[in-house]
Amino acid sequence: MREPRRNLPSKISISFIVFLLVFISFFTNFNVVNAAKPDKIAPTVPTNLHAVEITDSTITLAWNHSTDNMGVTGYDIYQDSRIIATVSSNQYVVRNLNSTTSYSFYIKARDAKGNVSNASNIIKVVTASKASVDQPPQVGELQVSPIGTDGKTVSGTVTLSVNASDDIGISKVEFYSNNGGYLIRALTTAPFSVNWATDPWVPDGEQTLKAVVYDTSNQVTQVTRTIQVKNTVTTPIQNDYKKVGYFTGWSTYSNFQVTDIDASKLTHLNYAFAKISADGKIEVGDAWADIEKPFPGDAADQPYKGNFYQLTKLKQQYPHLKTLISVGGRTWSEKFSDVALTEQSRTIFAESCLQFILQYGFDGIDLDWEYPVGGGESDNINRPEDKQNFTLLLMKIRETLDAQTAKDGKEYLLTIAGGASKGYAANTELNLLHPYVDYVQLMTYDIHGSWDTLTGMNAPMYRDPESRFYSEWSVQDAVQTYLNNGVPGNKIVMGIPFYGRVYNQVSNVNLGLYQPFYGGGSSLSYAKIVADYLNKNGYVRYWEQDSKVPWLFNGSQFISYDDQESIGYKTSYIKLMGLGGAMMWELSQDPNKELVSKIYNDLQ
C-alpha cells in the first residue's frame, strides 16, 4: 500500500526562508551598527600646538581646544610618536629631557566614550643648551632715569633698565611695577630698557620696581629698587575723543531700531555687517533689514529703505555724525584672504567698497577681518601671506577713497577693528598699516570666556597679580602692544563691551573667580544684567580691585561684565594715555543709554 503523499516544502520555499533569515539578520546588525554610530564620532582635532617655553630639560606645550571641547575629557600627548601623558587642560610640561636635543610632538583629543581625534599638527622642538656655569646671571642694579635730586623721587614717564652679563646668555628680562604686581614689558633682546609711566592708580608714596632676568638655562636673578612716586603724569592733550558706537543689523529683529540711537552722544556710527560676495565684492548682509524693511514716513521714491535709509535721516538730524559700513565680523570673514591676495582682487574689492558707500550714503568703511593668517571661524580661508596682504589691501582702499576725495572734496574714512592679542599683532604689520587708516578700533574684550578652563574677566582693565591663569592679559596690555608696534595713541580707539559673559556650574570657591566651570559661552546684555541679575535672585556684585572690573556670582553661575564704575577707569585711562577715544559693542545692549551716557560725559 502506497504511503499518502506529504506536503513537503519545495527547494524554492526553503531558499526563500534562508534568504529571509539572512535579510533579518543583516537588517538587525545594520540597525545596531547605525545606532552605535553616534558613539563613534571622534572629537574634532585640537589645533595650534606650539611650545610656549623651552629650557635645557623641559618643554611647555600649549594648544587650542577642540571645537567640541564640551565632550572632550582629555588630550593624549605624543612625544616622538609614543604617548607620554593624558591631560584635561590645554597645556602640558614635558620634563626630564636632554639638552640641545630635538623632539617631535603631536596631540589627540579623547572623549568620554573613548573616541580619539586625528592628530594635531606635528612640531619639532630643540631643548636649550646647559649653562656653562651654574651661577645665575650677573645683574647690575635697576636703573631709573630721570630721578629727582633726592635720588629716589620719580614722576611722569621714566626709563627702567638693567645691565646683565651675557657670558652665559640672557633669554629674557621682565620689568614690573606696582610693587612687583604688574608686568610692564618682557624683553628678549638687548638693550634691556623700557619706558614706564607712573601708575595713576597707585597712591603717592613708596613703590618697589622689579626686574627679573632669565638666562638660557632658565636660572633667574631678581633686582629691585624702591622709589618715591609722585603721580604728576601729564595728560596728553586730546580734545576730540571719538565715541564710536556699533549698531548691528540684527538688532532690528529685537526691536532696537536706528531711531532708538542717541546720536548726540556719538561721533561715529558703524553699521555691522556687510559681507563679501563670491566675486570678491562687498555686498549687503541682510537685504530685508538693511535696504528693504519699510519704516513709517519713508519716502515713496527712495531707492532703498530699511536701516540704511534711516541712517541717512539720522545724519540729517545730527550733521556731526559719521557713518561707516563694517564688513566681515566673526561670521563673514571667510573671504578676506581671497580679496587681499592679488593686486587685481584688491582693486576689485576697493572699487566695490567705494561704490557701496556712495550708493548707500556712508562716510567710510570699517574692515573687521577676524583674523588674518589664522583664527576665526572654521570655514575661514587663511594664508601666511595675509600678514603682508592686509597692509596692501588697506593701501589700495586708501588710494581708492583718496581718489574720490580729489573728485568731490569729501573726506572718506577707513578704519579697522583690531584684535587685542599678541597673536593678532604678530599676524599683522601694525607699524606699516596704521598710516592708511584713520583709526583702529581695538577689540579689548573677550579676553576670557568659555574657551578657557577657569572663570575670568571679560575685559579686565589691568592684570590681577593673583590670577590663576597661566598667561594673563588685560586691556592695558593690548593698548601697550599696539603702542609698542608703532600705532600712534590717538589712532587707538579702545573697545568697551556692553555685555557680560556667563559661566555655568562654577565651583563655589573664591566667590567663583578663577574657578573651574562646566558650560558657558552665552552672553547677556548690560540691560538684561541690570534688570534680572544685579543684586537679584541670589546674585551678588563683587569688585576685582586690581583689574578694576565687577562680577556677579550666586554660588553657581558667574557673570563677568562692565558697568559705569569700571568704564570710569577705562575712560580715565583713555585720557591719561592720549588715546583716540572709545568704541562701544554694541548699542542695542544698552537701550537705556546708561553706559553710552557715561562714556559721553567722561570724554567731553
The band of 329, judged by pLDDT with boundaries at 50, 70 and 90, is very high
Residue 3 in domain: no
Residues 61-65: what's their mean pLDDT?
A: 88
Residues 282 and 212 placed together within one structural domain of the fold: no
Query: What is the Rg, in whole angstroms, of the alpha carbon atoms belonging to the chain?
Result: 30
Cβ atoms of 560 and 543 closer than 8 Å: no
Residue 297 in domain: yes
Determine the distance from the C-alpha atom of residue 252 to the mean position of all C-alpha atoms in its chain, rounded to a whole number: 26
Residues 224 and 247 placed together within one structural domain of the fold: no
Neighbours of 498 (CB within 10 A): 25
Residue 574 in domain: yes
**CATH label of the domain that carries residue 391:** 3.20.20.80
Of 208, 230, 252, the domain-final residue: 230
184: closest CA among 442, 484, 492? 484
The reported pLDDT for the residue numbered 563 is: 98
Neighbours of 204 (CB within 10 A): 13
Residue 40 in domain: no
Residue 27 has pLDDT above 60, yes or no: no
Residue 37 in domain: no
Residue 3 has pLDDT above 60, yes or no: no
114: closest CA among 153, 80, 72, 149? 72
The reported pLDDT for the residue numbered 445 is: 97
Residues 201 and 179 placed together within one structural domain of the fold: yes
The reported pLDDT for the residue numbered 239 is: 59
| Residue percentage of the chain with pLDDT more than 70 | 87
Grid cell at residue 443: 577689540
Grid cell at residue 479: 593698548
Grid cell at residue 112: 568620554
Beta strand 205-215 with 220-230 is antiparallel
Q: For residue range 205-249, list pLDDT tens digits in order.
A: 778 888 888 877 777 888 888 888 876 544 444 558 999 999 999
Residue 7 in domain: no
Instruction: Provide the terminal-to-terminal Cα distance of the chain, rounded to the nearest Å.
Output: 123
Residues 325 and 184 placed together within one structural domain of the fold: no
Q: Enumerate the H helices of 102-148 as residue ranges.
A: none
Residues 477 and 598 placed together within one structural domain of the fold: yes
The band of 94, judged by pLDDT with boundaries at 50, 70 and 90, is very high
Whether the bond into 4 is cis, omega within 30 of 0:
no
Beta strand 413-419 with 439-443 is parallel
Residues 319-335: what's their mean pLDDT?
A: 97
Given the C-alpha cell 576689485, which residue does it identify? 348
Task: List the domain range (segments joined by +) for residue 593.
Answer: 242-602
> Measured between alpha carbons, how far is 389 from 103 in angstroms, rounded to an integer?
34
Cβ atoms of 117 and 66 closer than 8 Å: yes
Residues 299-321: what's their mean pLDDT?
A: 90
The reported pLDDT for the residue numbered 19 is: 59
Cβ atoms of 404 and 354 closer than 8 Å: yes
Residues 333 and 464 placed together within one structural domain of the fold: yes
**CATH label of the domain that carries residue 220:** 2.60.40.10
Residues 147 and 111 placed together within one structural domain of the fold: no
Q: Is 82 helix (H, G, I), strand (E, B) or coil?
A: strand
Residues 121 and 164 placed together within one structural domain of the fold: no
Check the CA dihedral 106-111-116-118 and report its sign.
negative
b/e per residue, 393-430, with b = 16+ CB within 10 A? Answer: bbbbbbebbeeeeeeeeeebbbbbbbbbbeebbebbbb
Residue 28 has pLDDT above 90, yes or no: no
Residue 11 in domain: no
DSSP result, 472-525: ---HHHHHHHHHHTT--GGGEEEEEESEEEEE-S--SSGGGTT-B-S-EEEEEE
Residues 363 and 440 placed together within one structural domain of the fold: yes
With both helix axes pointing from N to C terminus, report the angle between 594-602 and 564-577 in degrees, rounded to the nearest 10.
30
Contacts of 60 (CB under 8 A, 6+ apart): 51, 52, 53, 54, 91, 92, 93, 94
Residues 313 and 447 placed together within one structural domain of the fold: yes
- Average pLDDT of every residue of the chain: 87
Q: Give 17: exposed, middle or buried? Use CB within 10 Å, 0-12, 13-18, 19+.
A: exposed
Residues 479 and 576 placed together within one structural domain of the fold: yes
Residues 249 and 192 placed together within one structural domain of the fold: no
230 vs 475, more confident:
475
Given the C-alpha cell 639638552, which residue does it identify? 99
76 vs 158, more confident:
76
Residue 480 has pLDDT above 80, yes or no: yes
Element (H, E) at 360: helix 343-360
The reported pLDDT for the residue numbered 144 is: 86
Grid cell at residue 65: 581646544
Q: What share of the chain is helix, strand, coil (3-state, %, to 5)?
A: 30, 30, 40
Residues 568-587: what's their mean pLDDT?
A: 96
72 vs 255, more confident:
255
Residues 242-262: what's their mean pLDDT?
A: 97
What 533-537 contacts at long range (C-beta under 8 Å, 24+ apart), as own/partner pairs, is 533/559
Indicate which residues carry an active-site annotation: 370
Neighbours of 69 (CB within 10 A): 18
Question: How many residues make up the chain in this entry?
Answer: 604
Domains: count for the chain = 3
Query: Which residue type is seen at 16?
Result: F
Q: How far is the CA of 501 from the CAs of 84, 521, 523, in angstroms?
A: 36, 7, 5
Report pTM. 0.66
Of 184, 201, 230, the domain-final residue: 230
Of 70, 99, 126, the domain-final residue: 126
The reported pLDDT for the residue numbered 223 is: 85
Beta strand 242-248 with 581-585 is parallel
The reported pLDDT for the residue numbered 37 is: 43
**Of 213-217, 307-311, 337-341, 552-556, the least confident:** 213-217
Determine the distance from the C-alpha atom of residue 105 to the mean position of all C-alpha atoms in its chain, rounded to a whole number: 27
Given the C-alpha cell 574692515, which residue does it identify? 367
Residue 167 in domain: yes
